[in-house]
Structure 1
Amino acid sequence: MPDFDPVILVHGAWQGSWAWARFVPYLQAAGFVTHAIDLPGNGADGSDPAEVTFEACLRHVYGIVRALDRPVSLVGHSGGGLLITAFAERWPGSVSRLVYVAGMMLPGGESFEEIVKSVSPRHSEAIGIWPHLEWSADRRTSRVPAQAAIRFFLQDCAAEDAAAAAAQLTPQGEGGRAVTTLASAERYGRIPRLYVEALHDRSVILPVQRAMQARAPGALVVSMPTGHAPQFSAPAALAKAIIPFLASREPHGIR
């Protein structure tokens, strides 16, 4: 059995570990010990999403990695990209590889909203799901209506599958989402990165994905003809795209 680094799968906003359920078997079949985690406040731990902080999410992932007692590969989908960047910046010795799946791969100190704003004059659709969110009265949490989720996240899935996934989305606390992160060349920047583009993404549209790549250069890039959630709509293809990177003994050498 190959001794690959364990893989930690970090879900995006409004999601949970369930979002990786179709993808995990492909990694396991290839010999990877895989942990799809639930972040605090996503509905699995019973905590109030309005009270969740980004720091609490970061510490939660650190507890999982520390228990493994070896470096890990971190895979972040969508907003999960913010978390894996922050983790790699704080604990670079604990991370062997970073994979962003249509993820928020941002340079230090720049927010996703700033990237979107820079792209919007040429691509009005860059605003994505934002106008369709439903907010709590205090605007500390948001939720995604099912039909908006299907249209922006799951348009390339079978209708029944998309409806089932949309029904599992939970409220998202702004404290765990609307953040900027540190990303220095000396710490985060020394870790090999792979960016998986979703070519037909309606949430983090392709021009936004490529603007992030330009602002945070250095990642390998693979492209997939999918919507926002290839781990759900095309798990076998996503596994084929990233397993060579995860399995490489010298990930820097495949640049």
Structure 2
Amino acid sequence: MKTTVSLLLSTAVALSALASCGKNDEVPAANPQTYVLVHGAWQAPYVWNAVRSDLIKKGNQVVVVELPGHGTEKTPLHTLSLDVYRDKVIDAMSNVNGKVILVGHSMGGMVITNVAEKVPAKISKLVYIGAFLPASGQSLEELSQLDPGSKLGPSLVLSADHLSLDVKKEDLTNLFIKDGTQADKDLVVSNYRAEPSIPFGNKVTLTKENFGAVDKVYIKTLQDIVISPGFQDSMIAKAGIKTVYTVNTSHSPFLAQPQAVSELLLKIGQEQTLK
């Protein structure tokens, strides 16, 4: 009798374990990766919360970078530059053993590009999500002017001291998270902060030996009116990126469809291990 009860209990435990493994959010990564996530303009680390949580549940390491002058960070605006952003990301990466998958959104694409030129050997893959992807000698300001499909320009207000740019309050959620829930929209509004303007004018200098040697992936945002899908295609083609995925969202896919973003990042991470 004791043997029968023991067998039944063992079977129940085994079935429970199998059921747990069948739940998508509890399956550990076969080959864990370290993801470094860089937010874009007018946003901060909070945007990655759901994606970060999902990646960690799957057994990966995640580092979320708060760029200087964003979120709660108080570096004086007149001291900021694209290189200051770059160095903040490199500092965060220096605490990681081995290579990282470096992910950038929007303006964060400029940052991760600059990082890759400086420390290419530290990066296994660059991932651009609805992001600016410059060629050597370009700035974000110059790139944005090449996008006729963007609706952002008319909503921008430069401060009197020229050190920051505001987005008109009435346009904010329509531009960044039109397809999100009311809670998503409230989150964007409550965390809003004017954007430092100096880094927008900073140009990148890129080489084939450094930036050019790093594998790249682009995730297009198909409903984007900040960086239009057509302009994303143009940047992808000029950079020669062959691996392209899509999410059917506005400019903030990590808020509107976080699981879709984390699933793509996991897929990119697993593809990396096959190389």
**TM-score, reference length from structure 2:** 0.83
Amino acid at match of 2:34: P
Amino acid at match of 2:210: R
1:228-249 residue CA offsets vs partner (Å, 9 max, x unmatched): 0101110001112221112334
Say if 2:186 is the partner of 1:163: yes
Aligned partner of residue 218 in structure 1, secondary structure? coil
221-230 vs 131-140, which moves further: 131-140
Say if 2:60 is the partner of 1:37: no
Q: Aligned partners of 1:217 and 1:172: how far apart in 2?
A: 30
Q: Aligned partners of 2:90 and 2:190: how far apart in 1?
A: 29
Contact 2:139-2:200 at 8 Å conserved across structures: no
Segments of 5+ residues of structure 1 without an aligned counterpart are none
Contact 2:47-2:254 at 8 Å conserved across structures: yes
Structure 1 position 101, deviation (Å)? 0.6
What residue in structure 1 maps to residue 115 of structure 2?
87
Match of 1:200 among 198, 223, 232: 223
Amino acid at match of 1:66: S
Percent identity between matched residues is 24
Question: Are the structure 2 counterparts of residues 78 and 142 from structure 1 closer, same or farther at C-alpha, using a change threshold of 3 Å?
Answer: same
Structure with bigger RCO (C-alpha 8 Å, 6+ apart): 1
Contact 2:147-2:228 at 8 Å conserved across structures: no
Q: Aligned partners of 1:245 and 1:222: how far apart in 2?
A: 10
Structure 1 position 250, deviation (Å)? 4.5
Amino acid at match of 1:186: E
Alignment of 1:90-101 (within 5 A): 90-101=118-129
Contact 1:115-1:208 at 8 Å conserved across structures: no
Count how many residue pairs are aligned between Structure 1 and Structure 2.
Answer: 247
82-91 vs 55-64, which moves further: 55-64
Question: Are the structure 2 counterparts of residues 105 and 219 from structure 1 closer, same or farther at C-alpha, using a change threshold of 3 Å?
Answer: farther
What residue in structure 1 maps to residue 33 of structure 2?
5
Segments of 5+ residues of structure 2 without an aligned counterpart are 1-27
Structure 1 position 206, deviation (Å)? 0.7
Contact 1:51-1:173 at 8 Å conserved across structures: no
**TM-score, reference length from structure 1:** 0.90
Say if 2:83 is the partner of 1:55: yes
